[in-house]
Structure 1
Amino acid sequence: MTTTLISGANRSLGLETARRLIDAGHTVYAGMRDLASAAEVQNVGAHPVQLDVTDQRSIEAALAQLPELDVLVNNAGVLGRSFGVDDLDADAMREVFDTNVFGVVRLTQAALPLLRRSSNPVIVNVASGVGFARSLATPGTDEHFVRAVPYASSKAAVIALTLQYAKNLPEFRVNASDPGYTSTDFNGHSGHQTITEGTDATVMLAQLGTGGPTGKFFNRAGNIDY
Structure 2
Amino acid sequence: MKKVLITGANQGIGFETALQLAQLGYFVYLGYRNQERGLEAVKKLKDIGLENVEGILIDIADGNSIRKARVELESKTIFLDILINNAGIAGDEPHISTCNIDNLKKIFDTNVFGTLQTIQEFLPLLKKSLNPSIINVSSEVGSLTLLADPEENSSRSNFHVYGSSKTAINAVTLMLSSELRKEGISVNSITPGFTATELNNFQGRKRRNKALIQL
TM-score (norm 2): 0.85
Q: 1:79 to 1:143 in 2, by over 3 A?
A: farther
User: Relative to total residues, which structure has the larger helix share, 1 or 2?
Assistant: 2
Q: Counterparts in 2 of 1:1-226, with a 5 A limit?
A: 1-37=1-37, 38-44=39-45, 45=50, 46-66=53-73, 67=77, 68-85=79-96, 87-138=98-149, 141=152, 144-170=155-181, 171-196=184-209
Aligned equivalents of 1:77 and 1:134: distance in 2?
A: 22
CA distance in 1, matches of 2:154, 2:176: 25
| 1:41–1:137 distance in 2 versus 1, CA, 3 Å | farther
1:64 & 1:2 partners in 2: Cα distance? 19
Q: Deviations over 1:149-182 (max 9, x none)?
A: 3211100011110000011101111100011111
Go from structure 1 to structure 2 and tell me whether the alpha carbon gap of 1:142 and 1:6 turns closer, same or farther (over 3 Å shift).
Answer: farther
Query: Cα–Cα, structure 1 residues 29 and 140, in superposed 2: closer, same or farther, change >3 Å?
Result: same
Residue 133 of structure 1: how far off its partner (Å): 1.8
Structure 2 residue matching 1:31: 3-state secondary structure: strand
The one-letter code matched in structure 1 to 2:21 is: L
Q: How many residues align?
A: 197
Alpha-carbon distance in 2 for matches of 1:90, 1:142: 21
CA radius of gyration, larger in:
2
CA contact (8 A) 1:127 1:177 kept: yes
Task: Write out per-residue CA displacement over residues 101-135 of structure 1, whole angstroms, 9 at most, x where no aligned residue.
Answer: 00111100000110011101100000000000222
CA distance in 2, matches of 1:147, 1:123: 29
CA contact (8 A) 2:141 2:156 kept: no
Aligned amino acid, residue 42 of structure 1: K
Q: CA deviation at 1:85?
A: 4.6
- What CA RMSD, in Å, does the superposition of the two structures yield over aligned residues? 2.0
- Give 1:39's aligned amino acid: E
CA distance in structure 1 between the aligned counterparts of 2:204 and 2:179, rounded to whole angstroms: 35
What is the letter of the counterpart of residue 162 of structure 1? T
Distance 2:87 2:117 in 1: 12
What's 1:211 paired with?
A: none
Asked if the contact 1:9/1:76 (under 8 Å) is kept, the reply is yes
Q: CA deviation at 1:146?
A: 3.0
Equivalent position SS for 2:158: coil
Distance 1:139 1:20, change over 3 A: farther
Give CA-to-partner distance per residue, 1:81-109, whole Å, 9 cap, x none: 21125651221210000000001111000
